[in-house]
Amino acid sequence: MNKYFLKIFLTSFLSLFFIEILFKIISFGSFFDFELLRILLFTVVLSLITSFIYTFFKPLIAKIFTCITVFFFGFYALLQLSFKNFMGNFMSLSMLGGGGDADRISNEVATFIGSIRIEYYLCFLPLIILIVLFIWKKKWFTYEKPTWLNSLIIIGIIIVLHIVSLLTLNITPENQLKNNNDLYKAPTLIDISLKEFGTSRFIIRDLVYFIKGDDTHSIIDIDPPTVEEEEPTDYTRYFDDTAWQELIDNEDDEVIKNLHQYYMSQSITDKNEYTGIFKDKNLVLIMVEALDLAAIDPELTPTLYRLTKEGWYFDNYYAPKFSCTTGESEFIALTSIIPSNSVCTPFTYVDNNYSSSIFNLFNNSGYTSTSYHGWDDNYYPRTKLHKNMGSTFYNSDKLGFSTSGGWTSDLSLMEKIYPMFTQNDKFFSFVITVSMHFSYEFDDATTRKNWDKVKDLDTGITMKRYLAKAIEFDLSLEYLIDSLENDGKLDDTVIVIFGDHHPYNLDFDYLAERSPVDRYEDLNEDLMPFIIYNSTVEPQVISKTASTFDILPTIANLFDLNYDPRYYIGKDLFSDEETIALFPTGSWVTDKAIYNASKNDYKLKDDSVTEDYIKEINKILSNKFTASDNTLKKDYFKYSILNSSTQ
């Protein structure tokens, strides 16, 4: 065998495999498992290919190319680790190309670089060692012209090992949401794909997927609905599916037909004692930027604290982080559809039909729907998206706010928009706040305004800045409630509050020490506040598992809107149906168990359930992911029949 080739291969393989092991340990806390063997094979194949190409060049060029290769994959691993640390999720090329959080990072380059943890720079250790080796051992590479025989042997080895590496895809960890063959073709569950394939093979598959485009549509394996002979009650929700069945019978597109069949097969959530409790009342739905459990404080945020005690407080509510965190938390709340993991959904599917959105449900019940944000459309195309969802959207341009001086004050936003939405007889207003947005590394107008209230707290300076920002939101909430009360509208208005995600780029230890639960246990990182408040109802704490997906169906039931529960991923939280807090990684939480997809392990909370329950929920979620993906790609709601049945 050509010694020149062997030395290039050895340096490449050891360098790339070190990067893979480092990434695996930092990201997933695992080392000795079957995935390591697959990643080793993938790394060997990649190193064989690059080394074979480099043997056709003289030593200096081969050294440069080897260093460039090691630098590229080391930099990519560091970038993935840093993106996860900064934004809470790994990245894909399709997602980066779609704006959203990618644009956000481009506007916060200094903050992003400052957030890179020192251990991530170990990704460059192999490159440093190579450079030292090449300088110290100048004749480490001694050129030897490759022969045809050697070349054929190497090509043969590459082909055989590549086939063997692909055969390992047939082995999928038990309980994993998607099998590895499907993930290899479409690596949309990014965490699992990185864990199973490693960084070097993931970026190759991600690039192929990005260039080829995703025009694939999996067909959902639909279980026939269970028919239970039960006596109808006053709570039974009725639908006439005759027109829907006609659509199925006349549909030639197999994917659309499959979606019809899937949605039609879903359970119809019964009405309950909470159905219509807020019928004909007004609604102010507030998505609070970076609202965390740690922001609830009786002294610093007294109005927010008061609402957790006087309203309905959900203490087991999760805000899953998808690829475009804020935009997709908003998308989930407004549609109860799972965003695509491979793109930034609000951008890619901005032109879709959203006849099932919460705006349209309220519009159909005689409400005026409006939405507001104190920033421009730089990050997400809300003006167009909200219009397609049934709302008139007011951004900073329409509201007359300047964005040159930093994030808009939530108090100023509320003062501006309150007279606008309350002039309507029946209003549904969606408010997106921004004051609590990162960065927490420097002072802005909001932190300076409220600094005296936080400066003496026993916590880090970044946490003090975050809490100063939280005070500004609390002031906006106080203004809203006081104004409603003064105008005699408080009893007839419901206020619903949820957060999009926990504060990024803030030392999580600070959040953990101010939280009432262990934030490092299970999936508690994404535990967030969720509050429903109306001055006429009795306060209560609700511990049923909940997530952003459940907001729409819960509100629709409380206001007794004309909606079909089968169209939504989430469930009415006051129903008897099981709710599942699902995450883009494939992880999930129910009242009975917690499943961590990145580690492929689970924790049972109910002694009566077995591992079969884990498999059952994973199958349900696999179908939900496929249904949502096909719904978005096919713009399904152009073809659906909504509100044609009587409840």
Question: Has residue 293 been placed in a domain?
Answer: yes
- Strands 368-373, 581-582: pairing is unpaired
- Residues in Cβ contact with 32 at an 8 Å cutoff, skipping those fewer than 6 apart: none
Same domain, 203 and 309: no
Higher pLDDT, 403 or 243: 243
CA–CA separation, 608 and 600 (whole Å): 21
- The DSSP annotation for 155-176 comes to HHHHHHHHHHHHHGGG---TT-
Once rounded to an integer, what is the mean pLDDT over residues 173-194?
90
Task: Please check whether residues 206 and 314 belong to one and the same domain.
Answer: no
Decide if pLDDT at 224 tops 70.
Answer: no
Nearest alpha-carbon partner for 177 in 165, 189, 194, 169: 189
Q: Do residues 167 and 308 share a domain?
A: no
Q: How far is CA 176 from CA 90, 166, 218, 337, in A?
A: 18, 18, 17, 22
The two tokens of residue 523 are: 């999936």
Q: Same domain for 175 and 308? A: no
Average pLDDT over residues 556-579: 97
Whether 290 and 185 share a structural domain:
no
Per the CB < 8 A criterion, the answer to whether 434 and 411 are in contact is no
pLDDT of residue 646: 34
Task: Specify whether 406 is located in the same domain as 497.
Answer: yes
Q: Which domain holds residue 175?
A: 3-212
User: Residue 448 corresponds to which tokens in the numbers above?
Assistant: 């300076």
Residue 240 is assigned to a structural domain of this protein? no
Residue after which a domain boundary falls, among 534, 569, 604: 569
pLDDT at position 324, please? 85
Residues 195 and 296 grouped into a single domain: no
Phi, psi of 236 (to 5 degrees): -65, 135
Residue 238 lies in a domain: no
Strand partners, 604: 593
Give the pTM: 0.91
3-class DSSP assignment, residue 18:
helix
Report angle CA 618, 497, 334 to the nearest 5 degrees.
55
Q: Which of 191, 212, 233 is the last residue of a domain?
A: 212
Tell me the per-residue pLDDT of 93-116, one tens digit each, with 9 for 90 and over: 876 655 555 555 555 676 778 778
Between CA 538 and CA 532 the distance in angstroms is 11
d(CA 238, CA 603): 37
Is 110 domain-assigned?
yes
pLDDT of residue 372 exceeding 90: yes
- How far apart CA 334 and CA 553 sit, in angstroms, is 10
Distance of CA 360 to the CA centre of its chain: 24
**Tokens representing residue 68 in the block:** 């460039």
63-102: pLDDT as tens digits = 999 999 999 999 999 999 998 888 778 888 876 655 555 5
Q: Is residue 642 part of a domain?
A: no
- Express each pLDDT in 491-534 by its tens digit: 999 999 999 999 988 899 999 999 999 999 999 999 999 999 99
For residue 384, give both structure tokens: 């167009």
Q: Are residues 108 and 208 in the same domain?
A: yes
- Name the residue with tokens 């509320």: 414
Q: How far apart are CA 6 and CA 332, in angstroms?
A: 52
Confirm if 480 and 307 have CB atoms less than 8 A apart.
no
Are 386 and 392 a contacting pair, CB within 8 Å? Answer: yes
Per-residue confidence (pLDDT) for residue 218, from 0 to 100: 76
> Which residue pairs, CB below 8 angstroms and at least 24 apart, start in 23-27?
23/77, 23/80, 23/81, 23/123, 23/194, 23/198, 23/199, 24/195, 24/198, 26/81, 26/119, 26/120, 27/80, 27/81, 27/84, 27/194, 27/195, 27/598
pLDDT digit string, tens, across residues 50-64: 999 999 998 899 999
Residues 36 and 146 in one domain: yes
Could you tell me if residue 261 is inside a domain? no
Average confidence score pLDDT of the chain: 91
What's the rounded Cα separation, in Å, for the pair 505 and 447?
16
DSSP-derived secondary structure for 545-601: -EEGGGHHHHHHHHTT----GGG-SS--TTSSS---EE-TTS-EE-SSEEEETTTTE
Last residue of a domain, one of 569, 593, 618: 569
Q: How many domains in the chain?
A: 2
Considering the domain architecture, whether residues 400 and 512 belong to the same structural domain is answered as yes
- Considering the domain boundaries, does residue 311 fall inside one? yes
Alpha helix positions (H), 435-580: 445-450, 461-486, 508-513, 551-558
| DSSP secondary structure, 283-322, as one string | EEEEEETT--GGG--TTTSHHHHHHHHHSEEETTEE----
Percent of residues, the chain, with pLDDT higher than 70: 94
CATH no. for residue 304?
A: 3.40.720.10
Beta strands in 346-460 (DSSP E): 368-373, 392-394, 427-432
Residue 292 has pLDDT above 90, yes or no: yes
Task: Mark whether 161 and 284 lie in a shared domain.
Answer: no
Q: Tokens for 500?
A: 């999009």
Pairing verdict, β 530-533 and 493-499: antiparallel
One domain, residues 286 and 432: yes
pLDDT of residue 2: 80
Ranking 132-146, 273-287, 414-428, 503-517 by mean pLDDT, the lowest is: 132-146
Res. 345: pLDDT tops 80? yes
- Residue 445: inside a domain, yes or no? yes
Give the mean model confidence (pLDDT) for residues 555-571: 97
**Dihedral (C-alpha) 570, 576, 578, 583: value to the nearest 10 degrees?**
30
Q: What is the pLDDT confidence band of residue 214, given thresholds at 50, 70 and 90?
A: low
- Alpha helices by DSSP H, 29-147: 34-54, 59-87, 93-96, 101-106, 109-114, 125-136
Q: Which band of pLDDT confidence, cut at 50, 70 and 90, is reported for residue 490? A: very high
Query: Which strands form 427-432's sheet, in the order they lie side by side?
Result: 392-394, 368-373, 427-432, 282-288, 493-499, 530-533, 312-314, 540-542
**Helix H or strand E encompassing 281:** none
Q: Residue 540 burial (CB < 10 Å; 0-12/13-18/19+)?
A: exposed
> What average pLDDT does the segment 608-615 reach?
91
